[in-house]
Structure 1
Amino acid sequence: MRENFVIHPNYSHLAAKLQDVLYNFSKKGDYVTKGERNVIKMVQLEGIAFNIKKFKTPNVFQSLVYQYLRKSKAKRSFEYASKLIDFGIKTPFPVGYLEVFSGGLKESFYVSEHVNYDFDFRELIHNPSFKKRNEILRQFTHFTFKLHENGINFLDHSPGNTLIVESEKDTYVFYLIDLNRMRFESMDFNARMHNFRRLWLSKTMMKVMAKEYAKLYKKSVDGTYALMLHYSRGFQKKVNSKKLRRRK
């Protein structure tokens, strides 16, 4: 068995305590989410709250791929979070990760600082009368534009992966989470509009965001809205078709 434990220098003094939590993950901390694929727990160490994400154990083939050909999701999450921070993009601070190998990747954990957020992007979708909704959408559009301008193609740019903090009156701060699927590349207008598709935007939301993005990119509002709508509806239709097939 081989292990790879990496911790940010800011938290090197907590390395032993953090390793103890990781080695005893089933017994330590409080559950934040307990899904079929991944589990997230929160722990307190010396008065600081951390989130620990344990990724699903890969199958035999995938475990070998992660050992020899591809970085694990935990390692990617840590490295991508560090890159985002370098670009001035908010994400829970990357603390460290642990990989356990034995004939392939057996277990992997990603540790980040816990962020006390006010709501996530999903609430804007489910509640059309959400307070200051249009203003939040406009600021979120600026946030997404900054991602694109920095060549950050967040492949999981979906409603549950943006946490929102109201910092001052009518000012909102956005944090990206679930970072292991990301590409760093130049993005043309087509790619940028394609990146909005997973957000499950209504036409009303798209009109607000398209108008704002068009101003930033110096593109026509109608053209921006049409392309955003095209990719969003295509994605929604595909997902709904899959759900219908499963039911049948």
Structure 2
Amino acid sequence: MKIIVHPKYKNQENSIPQLVTGFLTDGDLIVKGARNIIKSNFLGDEKVNIKFFQKPGWFKSIIYSFFRSTKAKRSFDYAKYLIKHAILTPFPIAYIENRTSFGLLKDSYYISQQVDYDFTIRELIHDPLFLERNIILEQFAEFTFKMHEAKVNFLDHSPGNTLVVKKDSGKYEFYLIDLNRMNFQNLSIEKRMDNFKKMWLSKTMVKVIAKAYAKLSNESEEKLHAILLEKTTQFKRKTTKKKYLKRKIGRK
């Protein structure tokens, strides 16, 4: 078992393995997916989240063991990068990797602080009457712009991966989660608008995002609106087609 702990939590290093050894029986279940499980538990008096990455297939096990960082390590490292650049994400506490005697990855865990949030972007996307919807979208555009300026291309920039905390009337904070898929690069305006495509924006929301982003980027609102609308429309068509083909194949 390999354990890497953030310096801020060195004094609790001996308690962290207990979160893993008792993972299946202890704590409160938050998400149970096909590949990952997320639970909450306590590290001392602090509530934390533990994300369990199940054992990959033999090929990916070799890749993650010798050629690429594990999802747990990437989550930890990327969270530190975000925080260094003043982009909010649950604070990274530690990551743990279990390996065989031959060094092959078995499974891994990422542990972070619990963030008590009010809603995710998903709720806002699906509710046209969401309170202060346009204000939130404008501030979300600012948050994403800041992320892009820090050279972050968040490949899973989708509605469920941004937690929203209401600080005051008309003031919101945004926290990125599910961090293990990111690229770090200078982003063209095309790539920046492409990064919004998984948000499943309506035409009205595209207008709000384009206008807010234009003010920050010194690009014309018309240009950004045209690019963003095209990227969003293409993504929706592609996703809808995939779902249709899956249903059709499933009936055969």
In structure 2, the residue matched to 1:55 is 53
4+ runs deviating over 2 angstroms: none
Alignment of 1:123-142 (within 5 A): 123-142=123-142
In structure 1, the residue matched to 2:21 is 23
1:45 is aligned, of 35, 43, 46, to 43
2:69 is aligned, of 71, 80, 87, to 71
Q: What is the Cα deviation at residue 83 of structure 1?
A: 0.3
219-228 or 176-185: bigger deviation: 219-228
Q: What is the Cα deviation at residue 132 of structure 1?
A: 0.3
Sequence identity percentage: 48
1:162-205: CA deviations, max 9, x gaps? 00001122110000000000011101111101111111111111
Counterpart CA distance in 2 for 1:188 and 1:118 is 32
1:101-134: CA deviations, max 9, x gaps? 1142111000000000011000111111000000
Gaps of 5+ in 1: none
Secondary structure at 1:70's aligned position in 2?
A: coil
TM-score by length of 2: 0.95
1:134-185: CA deviations, max 9, x gaps? 0000000000010111111111100000000011221100000000000111
Counterpart CA distance in 2 for 1:4 and 1:53 is 16
2:5 is aligned, of 4, 7, 11, to 7
1:70-120: CA deviations, max 9, x gaps? 000000000000000000000000000001111421110000000000110
In structure 1, the residue matched to 2:225 is 225
1:180 aligns with 2:201: no
Counterpart CA distance in 2 for 1:23 and 1:183 is 32
1:200 aligns with 2:200: yes
Secondary structure at 1:61's aligned position in 2?
A: helix
How many residue pairs were aligned? 246
In structure 2, the residue matched to 1:145 is 145
Q: What is the Cα deviation at residue 239 of structure 1?
A: 1.1
RMSD: 0.9
Secondary structure at 1:16's aligned position in 2?
A: coil
Counterpart CA distance in 2 for 1:114 and 1:162 is 14
